[in-house]
Structure 1
Amino acid sequence: MQTRFAPDQLADAQTRESEKILRTCVHCGFCTATCPTYLLLGDELDSPRGRIYLIKDMLEGGKPATPEVVKHVDRCLSCLSCMTTCPSGVHYMHLVDHARAHIQETYVRPAADRRLRDLYARVLPHRGRFRAALMAARLGRPFAPLMGRVPGIGARLAASLKLSPTQPLPKARHKPGDTIRPSALPRRGRVAMLTGCAQQVLRPTINESAIRLLGRHGVEVVLPKGEGCCGALVHHMGREHDAAAYAKANIDAWTREIDGEGLDAILITTSGCGTTVKDYGFMLREDPAYAAKAARVAALAKDVTEYLGTLTLDAPVRTLKGPLAYHSACSMQHGQKITDLPKRLLQESGFAVRDVPEGHICCGSAGTYNLLQPEIADQLRARKVANIRKVQPVAVAAGNIGCMTQLGIGTEIPVVHTVELLDWARGGPAPHGWAIPDALVTAPEIAAPAVSPLAAALG
């Protein structure tokens, strides 16, 4: 794509990067075939190619964002399916992030929209505030249908209530500052684990499952003081300064551990967070105080399944009867390019894993998307649940709390985290909220897994 940015525009690092991305696009349109919003709405401007044209015109002309641009960029899920499809390697993620930051700086949203976004930005990344908000939402949940009849802001508030848990929130066993040492084995590794924000409130049992599983295999887990939200929630709302502040706090916390006893990896059990943390090096590349530290942290960041894949896990003692559907979160398959590994770990644990038809299409969660674009998110959830039902699973495994929450309100089929199942298969408790019937439990019939190179080196 030909561009006409002025030299003074290209002096800005973000514009320079976006210009490079724009020049990579060859207008082929392959991206339209896998874009969820284009498949639903059929509007070229709701495809990656259409949005690229809008963003190019806005940035190249140095124009404030218009309502038309905002509408179509807001409708983008940032699922990154287009990046998997694109034969030219267009880095759409960095381009749309720049567009959102530009919108945040140049566009004045309607008052109600602005206040709602401010509310989410102030509440969701903070565990205490988020927990209090969810407790209040339980009281307001009966009024969701009434709110849903109010156009615009009412539908969004109704979506928030609908997504809120109906049961009391589980309490976290571990907190930032804790170090959990292996109970029976000599230490074979040391990792940090992101505590984060929303997941630690909604389902802290996910991290606890990972900690138990790692502990059984000689891995020490540290939860550093000072870390928190990865910044993804505000980053995708265009609040780049807030996102950078969260990133820097995490980098400082993890760097203290790296420079202290050292870390083999920084593990993340929420794939949406993983995509962002792995991008810290890019986010802070122009910050002289953080560029090198951010790159080092990003290089150590791994999804929990990536690290488990380097270990030789103990043989499972039980598994599930019947098919297990694997839902690959967009941030996992498109953002981090992790596709087969989680399924292989489940298969090696005796689960009969089935791919979900149209597995590359987003479920509609996408961070705060199901709160801000509930109509489209509901359609995508219905489409995903219908495809899940086609494999007639006894449960659904996923690696992202957003997807689990989104799908969980659309089906009676249990939706659980991959690491919860891996832990349960080796004697851990059942995934939170699911009393697994005895009729679904069976002895695994699997071949012994091969010894990984790391496990062999560690003895």
Structure 2
Amino acid sequence: MQTTLSEDARQLPRAEEAERILRSCVHCGFCNATCPTYQLLGDELDGPRGRIYLIKQVLEGNEVTRATQEHLDRCLSCRSCETTCPSGVDYHNLLDIGRAVVDAAVPRSHGQRLLREGLRSVVPNRGLFKGLVSGGQVFRAWLPDTLKAKLPRNVRPPKPRPTTRHDRQVLMLEGCVQPSLSPNTNAAAARVLDRLGISVTAIREAGCCGAVDYHLDAQAAGLERARRNIDAWWPAIESGAEAIVQTASGCGAFIKDYGHLLSSDPAYADKAAKVSALAKDLVEILRDEPLDQLGVSSDQRLAFHCPCTLQHAQRLGGAVEAILEQLGFNLTPVPDSHLCCGSAGTYSLTQPELSRQLRDNKLNALESGHPEVIATANIGCQSHLDGAGRTPVRHWIELVEAALP
């Protein structure tokens, strides 16, 4: 696509990257066919091709409007378009660049600022978030349905984790909301890895991955969280930790981008690249291990929801399904499995109507094969889908751990 950046845009730190991405787009429109919001709304400007054009206009010096901001806000950042694109357009990075420019030019309403700042204050704060969830459970009966849907239906307390005893060691990101919404997930992962001769170390100083801030108009704050995590992990990396494991694919996708996002930071570029290289979704660790020695044998009927951050961002679609089938689970077919469930980080709160439509469509697809349970690989998807009160939704590693002899 022919592009001529304005003089102001050329001063942006990522100007060359934006221009390169814009020029790679041939405007074919294949992306619209797999875009969840375009499928719902049918508006060219609510699909990737239209949003790329809007960002192009902004970077070429045209007027930035609230309508531009709304169309960019409606994007889920699911990256399904990247999987579809024949030209390899790096859409999500262009979107990040465009959103930063638009958000700097268009003030948000007072209500939107409060919502976004509130989410940034609460979600990454593990202790505060846990307190709010606990309080919500106590007063659940008196809460409106919209808030009830955000609380877990069944909180399974974590079983004890095995002690560190193996030569092979990995780090594990604990996450910010998962310890409250699904506290047994990381513990289950640790127990399964222990059976395979791998010990897990949780670095308590490592906090939120930074994605919440980064995608809520606070990119600098998100990158600062990334730097703090790198500092927290670095001594263990130097001591030989072989991987940084994530059980939440959303966190994993962002950590794998640390190297790119901090590439211009001379103090952190090399370390960030190393961390990104070591970042592994749990399935990347397990698929290379002798799983037959686990002794798992299950014929449980389940549907697997592959999160966008796993299949489109990390390009690991089919990896979890292959492991579950290898272990004997009976997977039901899921139509349109490439489409987003509508969780998308905080999207279910910032775009509730679209999010609910996407959730209900996804549940209809997942339940079409009549599974006993729905499994997934990301806490956001898990809590969002389970909040509908339909078929129970759990992290896949908990199902595997429950089937251990």
Interval of TM-score (by shorter of Structure 1 and Structure 2): over 0.9
What amino acid is aligned across from residue 50 of structure 1 in structure 2? G
Aligned to 1:229: 208
Distance 2:19 2:171 in 1: 36
Aligned to 1:162: 149
8 Å contact kept, 1:314–1:426 = no
Per-residue deviation, residues 198-244 of structure 1 (Å, max 9, x unmatched) = 11221121100010011111112111231010011111113111101
Single out whichever of 298-307 and 407-416 deviates more from structure 2.
407-416
Judged with a 3 Å threshold, the aligned counterparts in structure 2 of structure 1 residues 291 and 242 are, in CA distance, closer, same or farther, namely same
Distance 1:396 1:319 in 2: 18
Aligned to 1:438: none
What amino acid is aligned across from residue 253 of structure 2 in structure 1? T
Aligned to 2:268: 290
Single out whichever of 336-345 and 404-413 deviates more from structure 2.
404-413
Aligned to 1:436: none
Aligned to 2:232: 253
**How is 1:77-88 mapped onto 2 (pairs within 5 angstroms)?**
77-88=76-87
Judged with a 3 Å threshold, the aligned counterparts in structure 2 of structure 1 residues 103 and 173 are, in CA distance, closer, same or farther, namely farther
**Structure 1 residue 376: Cα displacement:** 0.5
Aligned to 2:68: 69
Consecutive unaligned residues of structure 2, counting only runs of 5 or more, are: none
Judged with a 3 Å threshold, the aligned counterparts in structure 2 of structure 1 residues 407 and 42 are, in CA distance, closer, same or farther, namely same
Give the secondary-structure state (helix, strand or coil) at the position aligned to 1:100. Answer: helix
Aligned to 1:12: 12
**How is 1:385-404 mapped onto 2 (pairs within 5 angstroms)?**
385-404=363-382
8 Å contact kept, 2:34–2:81 = yes
Judged with a 3 Å threshold, the aligned counterparts in structure 2 of structure 1 residues 166 and 344 are, in CA distance, closer, same or farther, namely closer
Is the radius of gyration larger for structure 1 or structure 2? Answer: 1
8 Å contact kept, 1:189–1:219 = yes
**How is 1:75-114 mapped onto 2 (pairs within 5 angstroms)?**
75-114=74-113
Give the secondary-structure state (helix, strand or coil) at the position aligned to 1:163. Answer: coil
**Percent identity of equivalent pairs:** 43
Distance 2:292 2:233 in 1: 29
Please report the TM-score for the alignment, with normalisation by the length of structure 1. Answer: 0.84
**How is 1:240-389 mapped onto 2 (pairs within 5 angstroms)?**
240-259=219-238, 261-317=239-295, 319-389=297-367
Give the secondary-structure state (helix, strand or coil) at the position aligned to 2:4. Answer: coil
Q: CA RMSD in A?
A: 2.0
Single out whichever of 224-233 and 133-142 deviates more from structure 2.
133-142
Judged with a 3 Å threshold, the aligned counterparts in structure 2 of structure 1 residues 290 and 108 are, in CA distance, closer, same or farther, namely same
Per-residue deviation, residues 3-51 of structure 1 (Å, max 9, x unmatched) = 1114664353312111111111111000110000000011111000111
Give the secondary-structure state (helix, strand or coil) at the position aligned to 1:13. Answer: coil
Distance 1:100 1:17 in 2: 14
Aligned to 1:406: 384
**Structure 1 residue 301: Cα displacement:** 0.4
Consecutive unaligned residues of structure 1, counting only runs of 5 or more, are: 146-157, 428-459
Judged with a 3 Å threshold, the aligned counterparts in structure 2 of structure 1 residues 246 and 143 are, in CA distance, closer, same or farther, namely same
- Count residues with an aligned counterpart: 404
**Structure 1 residue 52: Cα displacement:** 0.7
Please report the TM-score for the alignment, with normalisation by the length of structure 2. Answer: 0.94
Give the secondary-structure state (helix, strand or coil) at the position aligned to 1:326. Answer: strand
Distance 2:228 2:340 in 1: 30
Judged with a 3 Å threshold, the aligned counterparts in structure 2 of structure 1 residues 180 and 228 are, in CA distance, closer, same or farther, namely farther
